[in-house]
């Protein structure tokens, strides 16, 4: 009887696991991202990531992850010790080759569009697709059939990335110190793209896949890592025969030439909202809000303090307006070079617990024209922490909801802080950009029609 009851409970557990709402055959429960070394001169990054996945179907023998071809895969292991086979391809490169060769099936527009849509589906994580195919070895077939956790480790490196990461390096300053060079690297989303993180590390790059995260970064002692999550207090440990001493949550090697940062993010977060910023920075901890830290390149600390001195009031405004506490335990704002400024609401890149702004947003006390622009941009980035990072849309087509809510909250703060004239001016700027877009590209479409929708009926309802 006991054996039978255990069998029944086990079957019920498996059935419950199958009911997890996911477009994929597996669920990512936790992902660890390790950055082992960064070379600014060659723009090279070496890293390792481990995904703990839960199979949702029986006979799962392979999975697909998102990983751009600019990210080179060196090794894939399963359960930490078993090497496994993988295929890293790019359906779009095959499509380009077929199209450029002038084959018959790509001459008509219908066949061209069908082939292009097929390539997009193969790379769409929400359609169980991806560029990186990982095959399971036979040793873990039983684990997959029993719906137990499977750990997949991937060693990778990125050299001279064109998307996803942006390196800031000044080669003319030969012989200068790290501080004089002010080199740094940060995650970057191209305008119009929802995410580029799959360009530099393997992941499920979709908003529908949320999991807990751990980020470990090993750097030269002159560099500082600012990543999504909470900086963990490390304990004294022995790792690979190297002794690490601990100071303020950062572990140092025995020769004091390298230090490790460990960030943990327990709030379920998609890979799209994971951000990093690594380089030489001056740090400012807000005196009225210890959870808030700001970072900037060297020699700009006085401007940083002036720019961020009233930022805690933005937190208070949003928490009072929404009747909700800030959803994370800390907040980091990092000012970087060469970050595009499209408009006041798009000038801030928001990742979970991390906001990136252009260094040009820093202002001097004698410059008053930049104050409302910078503070509204910071307010927009902070509002995106509530709507866009903590509350996440499920599909790309729904991203306008979170973006619109964050922009609306930022405009409300602008009205409270700077008055109706500045608020109406920002509304005018937004409408002008919308008119310019529609005159160039056509009307804005908020919803995607499916094949089953009758567009004529929808048109009648609108009339």
Read off the pLDDT of residues 368-425 as tens digits, 9 standing for 90 and up: 888 998 999 999 999 999 999 999 988 877 888 888 899 999 999 999 999 999 999 9
3-class SS of residue 277: strand
Rounded Cα distance, 167 and 45, in Å: 10
What is the average per-residue pLDDT within 138-157? Answer: 91
Q: What is the DSSP letter of 313?
A: H
Please tell me the predicted confidence (pLDDT) of residue 245: 38
Backbone dihedral region of 415: left (phi > 0), alpha (psi from -120 to 50 degrees) or beta? alpha
> Of residues 327 and 116, which shows the higher confidence score?
327
Cβ-contact 234, 260 below 8 angstroms: yes
Q: What is the pLDDT of residue 171?
A: 67
- With bands split at pLDDT 50, 70 and 90, how would you rate the model's confidence at 5? low
> Which of the pair, 194 or 445, is modelled with greater confidence?
445
Instruction: Dump pLDDT digits (tens) for 87-122.
Output: 888 777 766 666 666 554 546 667 777 777 777 777
- Stated pTM of the model: 0.83
Average of per-residue pLDDT across 192-218: 87
How high is the pLDDT of residue 369? 85
Residue ranges and CATH numbers for the domains of the chain are: 10-89+131-272 (2.60.40.1730), 281-409 (1.10.390.10)
Q: How confident is the model at residue 343 (pLDDT cuts 50, 70, 90)?
A: low
Taking residues 65-77, report their average pLDDT: 91
Instruction: Quickly list DSSP for 78-139.
Output: ETTTEE--EEE--HHHHHHHHHHTT-GGGSSHHHHHHHHHHHHHHH-GGGT--SEEEEPPGG
Q: What percent of the chain has pLDDT over 90?
A: 44
Q: Which two three-digit tokens encode residue 412?
A: 């409300």
Average confidence score pLDDT of the chain = 81
pLDDT at 23 over 70: yes
Q: Is the pLDDT of residue 460 over 50?
A: no
pLDDT of residue 208: 87
Contact between residue 362 and residue 300 where contact means Cβ atoms under 8 Å apart: yes
Q: What is the pLDDT of residue 80?
A: 86
Answer with the residue of higher pLDDT: 16 or 444: 444
Assess whether pLDDT exceeds 50 at residue 235: no
Which strand (E) or helix (H) includes residue 399?
helix 399-418
Task: State whether the Cα torsion 181-185-189-190 is positive or negative.
Answer: positive
Which pLDDT tens digit goes with each residue over 37-62?
Answer: 998 888 999 999 999 999 998 888 99
Residue 463 scores a pLDDT above 60: no
How much is the average pLDDT of 290-316? 92
pLDDT confidence of 241, banded at 50, 70, 90?
A: very low
pLDDT at 334: 95
């Amino acid at each position: 009887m006991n054996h039978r009851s255990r069998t029944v409970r086990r079957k019920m557990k498996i059935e419950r696991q199958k009911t997890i709402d996911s477009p994929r055959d597996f669920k990512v429960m936790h992902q660890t991202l390790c950055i082992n070394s960064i070379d600014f001169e060659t723009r090279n990054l070496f890293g390792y990531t481990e995904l703990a996945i839960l199979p949702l179907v029986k006979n799962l023998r392979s999975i697909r992850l998102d990983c751009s071809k600019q990210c080179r895969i060196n090794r894939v292991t399963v359960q930490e010790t078993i090497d496994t086979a993988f295929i890293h391809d790019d359906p779009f490169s095959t499509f380009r080759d077929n199209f450029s060769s002038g084959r018959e099936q790509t001459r008509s527009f219908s066949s061209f569009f069908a082939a292009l849509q097929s390539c997009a589906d193969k790379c769409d994580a929400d359609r169980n697709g991806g560029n990186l195919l990982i095959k399971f070895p036979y040793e873990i077939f039983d684990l997959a059939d029993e719906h137990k956790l499977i750990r997949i480790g991937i060693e990778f490196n990125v050299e001279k990335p064109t998307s996803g990461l942006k390196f800031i390096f000044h080669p003319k300053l030969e012989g200068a110190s790290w501080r004089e060079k002010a080199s740094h690297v940060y995650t970057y989303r191209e305008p119009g793209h929802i995410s580029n993180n799959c360009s530099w590390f393997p992941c499920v790059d979709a908003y529908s896949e949320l999991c807990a995260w751990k980020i470990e970064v090993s750097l030269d002692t002159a560099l500082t890592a600012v990543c999504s999550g909470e900086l963990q207090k490390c304990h004294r440990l022995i790792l690979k025969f190297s002794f690490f001493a601990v100071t303020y949550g950062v572990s140092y090697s025995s020769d004091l030439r390298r230090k490790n940062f460990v960030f943990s993010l327990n709030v379920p977060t998609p890979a799209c909202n994971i951000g990093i910023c690594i380089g030489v920075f001056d740090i400012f901890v807000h005196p009225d809000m210890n959870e808030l830290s700001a970072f900037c390149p060297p020699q700009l600390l006085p401007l940083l303090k002036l720019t961020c001195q009233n930022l805690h009031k933005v937190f208070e405004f949003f928490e009072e307006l929404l009747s909700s506490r800030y959803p994370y335990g800390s907040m980091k704002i990092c000012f970087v070079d060469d970050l595009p400024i499209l408009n006041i609401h798009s000038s801030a890149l928001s990742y979970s617990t991390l906001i990136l702004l252009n260094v040009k947003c820093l202002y001097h006390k004698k410059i008053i024209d930049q104050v409302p622009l910078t503070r509204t941009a910071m307010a927009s980035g902070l509002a995106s922490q509530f709507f866009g990072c903590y509350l996440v849309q499920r599909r790309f087509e729904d991203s306008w909801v979170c973006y619109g809510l964050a922009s609306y909250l930022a405009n409300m703060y602008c009205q409270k802080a700077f008055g109706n004239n500045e608020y109406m001016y920002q509304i005018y700027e937004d409408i002008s950009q919308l008119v310019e877009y529609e005159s160039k590209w056509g009307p804005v479409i908020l919803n995607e029609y499916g094949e089953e929708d009758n567009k004529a009926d929808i048109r009648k309802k609108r009339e």
